[in-house]
Amino acid sequence: MSRQVINDGNGKPVSVLIDYQEWLKIEQLLAGKELDFAGPANPLDWYVLTETTNSLLNELISYSSRERRKEMKRTQPDHGKISELQQLFEEVHTINSDPENFKSIGRMEAIIGQYGFFVTFDGGLICF
């Protein structure tokens, strides 16, 4: 059985030529299965998710640093809260520093889903 991948001018695969017998096997496997061929994602989706993810992470970094500093200045600081804020800072900073997190729409959506609940609709943050 032969198979040939056809690429566009940029080297991106656009078609595949296969043997007819191989095609018949594929048809048999797909018979009765509903296929969902979604169109390409809107390029603005990636931009909006990148900006949203970056803003969210930067706000959480700022918040955790600011609140940690405020707590440390108290006469009787809550060391548990300081530890939690430091842990949040390190966790979010690690995510924000990894460029791989901004290359995948699914990964950015997961980050927003995981950390978005900290942010309120009025732009504030939910306190610990």
Q: Let me know if residue 24 belongs to a domain.
A: yes
The boundaries of the domain holding residue 18 are 1-37
When divided into structural domains, the chain yields a total of 2
Look at the chain and count its residues: 128
Place of tokens 């900290």: 118
Co-location of 53 and 96 in the same domain: yes
Co-location of 103 and 55 in the same domain: yes
Phi, psi values for residue 72, rounded to 5°: -70, -25
Strand partners, 66: none
- Please name the residues in contact with 2: beta carbons below 8 A apart, sequence gap of 6 or more: 17, 18, 19
How does pLDDT run along the chain (128 residues), one tens digit per residue?
A: 577 778 878 777 777 788 777 777 777 777 776 655 555 567 778 888 999 999 999 999 999 999 999 999 999 999 999 999 999 999 999 999 999 999 888 899 999 988 887 765 554 555 44
Q: Let me know if residue 127 belongs to a domain.
A: no
Q: Are 108 and 50 in contact (CB under 8 A)?
A: yes
User: How many angstroms separate the CA atoms of 64 and 44, rounded?
Assistant: 30
Q: Let me know if residue 128 belongs to a domain.
A: no
